[in-house]
């Protein structure tokens, strides 16, 4: 029986989603029909190659973006009940105050490890990272890889388009065309530059941030909780270690999958139920058993 967290949602429009769709369409049209055409000639061999590569990037951006919007990030089953005596789950997250197992009063069920309630979606999300207005959806257990791959493809596409913009602009300068010819494309260059430069910087920062999170097997929420936990541990003279950090390679494969050939494809069949996760304790127990 398929896990409900992998079900698809309806495509939901919003103003930020509309802006992203329009940006993708504008960047694609300006890159292929202006930058590539002005620099190489669209029907020359270099022009066709660059247009084909950029079209492939645009298709992957569009595909992964749509999937990030429509993929359910993962919800807590109504029948979920934490088993405190389960030897395979030695770690159970508790409330900061009182020490009780975490229970969501709004959803009326217990929260699995790493799950949090989203005030926007009005439900608990498995391994919640954050709510993203740009996809009008939460980023969680079932769509985190898809979201990450979308950001990766978007970074590559923006930098590629920026390189083609600079090359096209330089080529126009060398050609020393008359003012009328250059003026007809000046607006496209200016608007594209104003869009691509800040967008590339923002997306690169976002990509680096999520690479860091993946390599440490953290979510954005866990990072900020971890900063507080580290401060409290140091204050008490103890050492804090994130319980889900299994090492860079294990962390990477837990998100992108064990097969490197599928890392850049928006599939998530390897992720499991999202109700329990391997911890440092599991690794330590495995090593002690093997000795």
| Residue 103 · residue 109 · CB < 8 Å | yes
What is the C-alpha separation between 287 and 291, in angstroms, rounded?
6
Pair of tokens at residue 286: 């495995």
Residue 181: CB partners within 8 Å, gap ≥ 6?
none
- Put residue 176 in one of left, alpha, beta given phi > 0 → left and psi -120 to 50 → alpha: left
Task: Tell me which of 61, 132, 138, 281 is the catalytic residue.
Answer: 132
| Residue 162 · residue 30 · CB < 8 Å | no
Q: Do the bridges between strand 123-125 and strand 109-110 make them parallel or antiparallel, or are there none, so unpaired? A: unpaired
Percentages helix, strand, coil for the chain (3-state, rounded to 5) are 55, 5, 35
Pair of tokens at residue 27: 């960047």
What is the C-alpha separation between 33 and 13, in angstroms, rounded?
28
Q: Is 138 helix (H, G, I), strand (E, B) or coil?
A: strand
What is the C-alpha separation between 204 and 220, in angstroms, rounded?
17
Residue 279: CB partners within 8 Å, gap ≥ 6?
90, 91, 243, 244, 246
For residue 281, indicate whether it is catalytic. no
Which residues are catalytically annotated? Answer: 132
């Amino acid at each position: 029986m398929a896990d409900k967290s992998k079900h698809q949602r309806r495509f939901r429009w919003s103003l930020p989603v509309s802006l992203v769709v329009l940006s993708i369409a504008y960047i694609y049209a300006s890159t292929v029909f202006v930058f590539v055409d002005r620099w190489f000639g669209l029907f020359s061999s270099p022009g066709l190659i660059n247009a084909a590569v950029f079209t492939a990037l645009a298709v992957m951006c569009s595909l992964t973006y749509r999937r990030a919007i429509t993929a359910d990030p993962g919800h807590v089953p109504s029948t979920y009940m934490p088993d405190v005596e389960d030897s395979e789950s030695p770690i159970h997250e508790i409330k900061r105050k009182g020490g009780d197992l975490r229970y969501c009063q709004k959803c009326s069920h217990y929260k699995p490890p790493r799950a949090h309630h989203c005030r926007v979606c009005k439900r608990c999300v498995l391994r919640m990272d954050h709510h993203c207005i740009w996809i009008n959806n939460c980023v969680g257990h079932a769509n985190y890889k898809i979201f990450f791959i979308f950001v990766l493809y978007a970074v590559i596409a923006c930098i590629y388009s920026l390189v083609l913009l600079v090359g096209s602009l330089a080529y126009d300068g060398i050609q020393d065309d008359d003012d009328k010819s250059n003026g007809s494309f000046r607006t496209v260059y200016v608007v594209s530059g104003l869009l691509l430069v800040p967008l590339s910087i923002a997306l690169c920062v976002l990509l680096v941030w999520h690479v860091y999170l993946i390599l440490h097997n953290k979510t954005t929420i866990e990072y900020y909780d971890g900063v507080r936990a580290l401060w409290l541990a140091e204050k008490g003279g103890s050492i804090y270690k994130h319980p889900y950090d299994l090492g860079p390679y294990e962390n990477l494969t837990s998100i992108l999958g064990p097969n490197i050939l599928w890392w850049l494809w928006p599939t998530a069949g390897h992720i499991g139920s999202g109700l329990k996760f391997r911890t440092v304790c599991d690794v330590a127990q495995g090593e002690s058993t093997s000795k």
